[in-house]
Amino acid sequence: MKTLIKKIVPDTVIKKYHGWEEFRLLNPDGQAEVRQDRKGLPQVDPGISVSVTAALNWLVRAQQNSASHDGGVARDYSVKNEWATSYPETTGYIIPTLINASHYFDDKTYLQSAKIALDWCEKIQLENGAFQGGTIEKDPVPVTFNTGQILIGLSAGVAEFDQYHDAMYRAARWLVETMDGDGCWRKFATPFAEKGEKAYETHVSWGLLEAAKASGNQEYGDAALKNINWAITKQQENGWFDDCCLEQPDSPLTHTLGYVVRGIMEGYLYSRDEKLLTSALKFAGAVTTIMDEDGYFPGRWHKDWTPAVSWVCLTGSVQIAHSLLLIYKETGQDKYLETASKLNQYVRRTIRLVGSNDAMVGGIKGSFPIDGSYGKYEYLNWAAKFFIDSNMLEAEIKGEDLRS
């Protein structure tokens, strides 16, 4: 595959390229990061162990430094605006990452962070069982997608602490009761995305699957599979999914494509329905075919699998890598492991592991370069979460001990 990265802009024209008014608003560390990224991707891969530890510690700092100081995890650290307020949606699915890391590394710090986050999620649950969209200061409007993501965390809380049963039940019931007859959720869409059906809400179904496992309630699992089976009707023969983006359906983010395939894989692992694995394999087969040799994977694509942008959505890369690793575990086909490893390695090479600003150390940028359009100038909490999960699974598959 021919490289698609635009020619690196030299520092001498940084003013012209970025627009001086925007560039000058960045803090000095942000300006330095822009200059560094425009030089290209660093050659050195720091490896899984040190990168995962750094990202985990960044997540803990993101919780401690949230601008709302409430126990949730800050949505991001911005080199324009510093730490953001807490983000309920992503705090929810960060919880199992912290719990798993606590057990793996035998570190109570991560478990304590997970417990604080769970208590906060329980506190902010709406009366009807749903959760709000957006960061915590937004109007508390019930949103399907956000509820499903927090349900992932509540289910982990039930399994780990034998608490949060009522919160989990109420969220799961609300999702089941608000689903349309064909398996799609249409009634409580997020106000922060374009209107319309969303195939990537299979990631909501993942929350229901976790609730089904934690509670033994098969109704939750049945509802989840109904949605996933609806979503795969959106898939084309080349693996593509229609209606799979927040705001640009003709060129979706790898982030939302990562959501849809993960939900499908979780549905397969729960049900062992071969139809779902076939769907995931269609998508995975396309990714392995178009993957750049060094793991470069543009952040938006058109439906014929031609890239729509030159920058990389780092979140989407590690999300897709994780699903490829799950597929590898099921099929044993090396191409999925090899492609996932390239994706993970590419993202590891973007991480800052040293520096005077610990709000950047261990964080995962929205885009590479940092001025790409997804999470522009931001280090995103969900990027760190998916990075940790994917790299830990890669290490497990390869037999690497990250504790040594």
Q: Residue 74 pairs with which residues in a beta bridge?
A: 86
- The three-point CA angle 349-84-352 to 5° equals 15
- Residue 19 — very low, low, confident or very high, per pLDDT cuts 50/70/90? low
Phi, psi values for residue 384, rounded to 5°: -65, -40
Task: Tell me how far apart the alpha carbons of residues 216 and 209 are, in angstroms, rounded to a whole number.
Answer: 10
Examine residue 191 and state whether it is found in any structural domain, yes or no.
Answer: yes
Burial code (b: 16+ CB inside 10 Å, e: under 16) for 184-207 equals bbeebbbeeeeeebbbbbbbbbbb
The answer to whether position 103 is within a domain reads yes
**Band of residue 320 on the pLDDT scale cut at 50, 70, 90:** very high
pLDDT tens digits, 115-149: 999 999 999 999 999 999 999 999 999 999 999 99
Print the domain residue range for 318.
11-398
DSSP H helical ranges for 187-251: 202-215, 218-231
Whichever domain contains 46, its CATH number is 1.50.10.10
pLDDT digits (tens, 9 = 90+) for 249-268: 889 999 999 999 999 999 99
* 82 domain residue, yes or no: yes
| pLDDT exceeds cutoff 60 at 305 | yes
Please say if the pLDDT value at position 13 is more than 80. Answer: no
| Average pLDDT over all residues of the chain | 94
How many helical (H) and strand (E) elements, i.e. helices and strands, does the chain have? 15, 5
Over residues 160-189, the pLDDT tens digits come to 999 999 999 999 999 999 999 999 999 998
d(Cα 85, Cα 11) in Å, to the nearest integer? 33
Is the distance from CB of 245 to CB of 251 less than 8 angstroms? Answer: yes
Rounded to whole angstroms, the Cα distance separating 205 from 102 reads: 26
pLDDT of residue 5: 39
Which two three-digit tokens encode residue 66?
A: 């949230």
CB-based contact 207:259 (threshold 8 Å): no
In a domain, 78, yes or no: yes
Residue 1 belongs to a domain: no
Domains: count for the chain: 1
